[in-house]
């Protein structure tokens, strides 16, 4: 069921409620409804593909001929030493690279086979479809937790009623793993939350505009182990609804949360490039390139 603002209440939720009103839904019916909802979410997920991406800052080339498919419904981890172009690549995926005055690039970024850099596509549309969570949490400190979640609607030009916003705030905070901790203080400043809570608030804010892809640039690097675990659990749950691409220097984290890895490397003054990519378990257990083996086993980087 879709509201006037375009927010969809899961059909499985409506179906389960209807069965209950008609005389009591069984546990089996509830499980079937949940399974249907998961299947519907997976079928609606999007694939992101980078083709022959090269990037420069002025005359300095930072990426060379990077091609990578990030499959729908999976977490792809970008790993590699500092300075090899991982974060630059991530920013190219939602058109943030072009905001740097000296930046330029070549290649294509396809969202479900549609190039987001096509001249006919607006920048704001790319940002709505491909969200970003940064290394350092960046909630709007003077805004309430509630207003932080819905802030993206105005920026994206999305109108919503109060009831629709209420539903969206609860839904996104639940998906961000934060609802139970803040539901009784939604009007408190977002800047008053702990670091881990602020990062989850930023995730909820990104989800409010219903992105197809969620990019995460070292989202746990400044967090304690407990907060890191909660963020990782959140990522695994979100992967049922959105395609996730994460930059991480934590090899254990890459193994825990991703199904696919891409190993970036820049050596001897050469631009960053992908040495190897594929199934995460295979890359850690039996990589093809000896440089991958050395990196994932901590011999450099």
Q: Where along the chain do its domains lie?
A: 11-43, 49-143+208-296
List, for residues 81-100, the tens digit of each pLDDT value. 999 999 999 999 999 998 89
List, for residues 162-182, the tens digit of each pLDDT value. 999 999 999 999 999 999 999
Cα angle for residues 173, 26, 166 (degrees, 5° grid): 20
- Position of tokens 């005389």? 23
2-11, 21-30, 102-111, 270-279: segment of lowest average pLDDT: 2-11
Please give the CATH architecture assigned to the domain spanning 49-143+208-296. 3-Layer(aba) Sandwich (3.40)
Residue 158 has pLDDT above 90, yes or no: no
Q: Kindly report the average pLDDT of the chain as a whole number.
A: 86
CA distance 25 to 10: 17
CA distance 88 to 62: 8
Task: State pTM to two decimals.
Answer: 0.82
């Amino acid at each position: 069921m879709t509201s006037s603002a375009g927010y969809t209440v899961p059909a499985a939720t409506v179906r389960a409620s209807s069965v209950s009103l008609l005389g009591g839904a069984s546990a089996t019916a509830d499980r079937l409804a949940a399974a249907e909802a998961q299947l519907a979410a997976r079928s609606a997920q999007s694939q992101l593909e980078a083709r022959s991406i090269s990037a420069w800052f002025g005359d300095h080339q930072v990426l060379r001929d990077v091609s990578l498919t990030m499959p729908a419904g999976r977490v792809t981890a970008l790993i590699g030493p500092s300075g090899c172009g991982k974060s630059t690549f991530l920013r190219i995926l939602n058109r943030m690279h072009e905001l740097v005055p000296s930046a330029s690039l070549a290649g294509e970024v396809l969202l479900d086979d549609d190039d987001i850099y096509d001249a006919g596509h607006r920048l704001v549309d790319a940002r709505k479809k491909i969200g970003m969570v940064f290394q350092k949490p960046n909630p709007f400190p003077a805004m309430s937790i509630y207003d932080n979640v819905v802030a993206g609607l105005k920026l994206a030009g999305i109108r919503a009623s109060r009831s629709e916003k209420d539903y969206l705030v609860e839904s996104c905070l639940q998906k961000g793993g934060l609802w139970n901790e803040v539901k009784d203080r939604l009007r408190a400043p977002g800047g008053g939350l702990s670091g881990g809570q602020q990062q989850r608030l930023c995730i909820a804010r990104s989800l409010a505009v219903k992105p197809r892809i969620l990019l995460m640039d070292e989202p746990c690097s400044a967090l304690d182990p407990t907060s890191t675990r909660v963020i990782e659990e959140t990522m695994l749950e979100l992967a049922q609804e959105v395609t996730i691409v994460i930059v991480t220097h934590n090899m254990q984290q890459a193994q825990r949360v991703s199904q696919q890895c891409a190993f970036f490397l820049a050596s001897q003054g050469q631009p960053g490039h992908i040495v190897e990519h594929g199934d995460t378990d295979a890359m850690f257990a039996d990589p093809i390139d000896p440089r991958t083996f050395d990196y994932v086993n901590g011999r450099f980087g």
